[in-house]
Homo-oligomer: A and B are copies of this chain.
Amino acid sequence: MLKNEMTELLQIDYPIIQAPMAGGVTTSKLVAEVSNSGGLGTIGAGYMTPTQMREQIREIKQLTTNHFGINLFVPNEFTVTEDKMNSAKQQLQPIREQLNLPQKDSSEIPNSKNVFETFNEQIKVVIEEKVPICSFTFGIPPKELIAALKQHNIILIGTATTVREAVEIEKSGMDLVVVQGSESGGHRGNFINGFQESLIGLMSLIPQVVDHVSIPVIAAGGIMDGRGLMASICLGAKGVQMGTAFLTCIESGAHQVHKDAILNANEDKTVLTRAFSGKWARGIENKFILDMQKYETSLPGFPVQNTLTQDIRKAATSENNKDFMSLWSGQSPRLAKKQTVEILIKNIISDTFKITKDK
């Protein structure tokens, strides 16, 4: 039951992907340990330079001979007016003052052209370094890039939040699709549907997608243990992608303050915000989210807001100040544990056998 098209395509023992959390969580140790334990470790490379990617890929290859994956953010055209930029800066000014940070220099703000160039270079690294699996968030890459990756036998995974998005991912030629339920932590991956439309719980999302695509469906959002894996399989998924469950593991690079915030949170304490990055994402409510709530609708989009808040998040992190950190979490923080990756995966597998036996 745990061996299927998904485990075959990805060449892994168990149908478990460690979600590609960007921003330092997916250390080489975490990724390699997941792959060594029978799952698929994934580098969250969305914010990485091509050089950083190459270094980490090579480091992981020293730590595991098993398959692992890498995740990239598909860029979208964006513009921001001078006015919007200035009011966004003003909104953040009181927080900068609290943290003794200087004014943000506008020259650091990326433009669309940079972002597309970086994406092309990132893809080049994936091909050159022969990463066996590449997953995408925030859209579908251009045809020619998909063709280039496939020519090098790289297995491709898309991220969808609705049936419509999953169907488009299948049409693009990708090999598997992750369906992201409303439960999931971090950024929403919607790219055709609007944000509100994309908030579909996995109990609804999995079977409706499964009925409309023929590539393997991987469930993501709030899944933390063998119960979630078995439920996803009953709903028609072939496996799961888990973020929060790996984030609190010993091997994860998340800041201890972030891990502790999850370990102490309840299911009713996560909220959706675009204050950190300009894209909607789920995290544990804190002072930054509350302070910025009144600007929520007028904030610049991704990646502009993300760049504007970068040094705020960095300063807060180095001061162990959870008030201004992005404490991403899915809706199941009560199920999070401080444990090793090996124990997490072992427990999931033994739980699934127990559940199957009980039936």
By a beta-carbon cutoff of 8 Å, the part of chain A in contact with chain B is 1, 162-164, 181-183, 193, 196-205, 207-208, 211-212, 219, 221-225, 227-228, 230-236, 266-269, 271, 330-332, 334-335, 355-356, 358-359
| Residue picked from A201, A207, A221, most chain B C-beta under 10 Å | A201
When distances are taken between beta carbons in the complex, the residues of chain B under 8 Å from A358 are 1
Q: Are B203 and A181 closer than 8 Å at their CB atoms?
A: yes
For A201, list chain B residues within 8 Å (CB). Answer: 181-183, 201-203, 221-222, 331
User: Hey, which chain B residues are within 8 Å of A182, CB to CB?
Assistant: 182, 199, 201
Which chain B residues border A234 with CB–CB below 8 Å?
227, 230-231, 234, 355
- Best-surrounded residue of A198, A208, A211, A230 (most CB of chain B within 10 A): A208
Q: Which residues on B sit within 8 Å (CB–CB) of A202?
A: 201-203
Alpha-carbon distance between A205 and B222 when the two chains are bound, in angstroms: 9
* Copy total for this chain: 2
Q: Are A268 and B183 in contact (CB under 8 A)?
A: no
Task: Give Cα A300–Cα B256 distance, bound, in whole angstroms.
Answer: 44
User: What's the Cα separation between A335 and B200 when bound, in Å?
Assistant: 14
Query: Which residues does chain B contribute within 8 Å of A200, judged by CB atoms?
Result: 183, 267-268, 331
A204 to chain B, nearest CB (A): 4
A198 contacts across to B, CB distance below 8 A: 268
Is B231 a contact partner of A204 (Cβ separation < 8 A)? no
Q: How far is the CA of A94 from the CA of B156 in the complex (A)?
A: 52
A164 to B355 Cα, complex, angstroms: 26
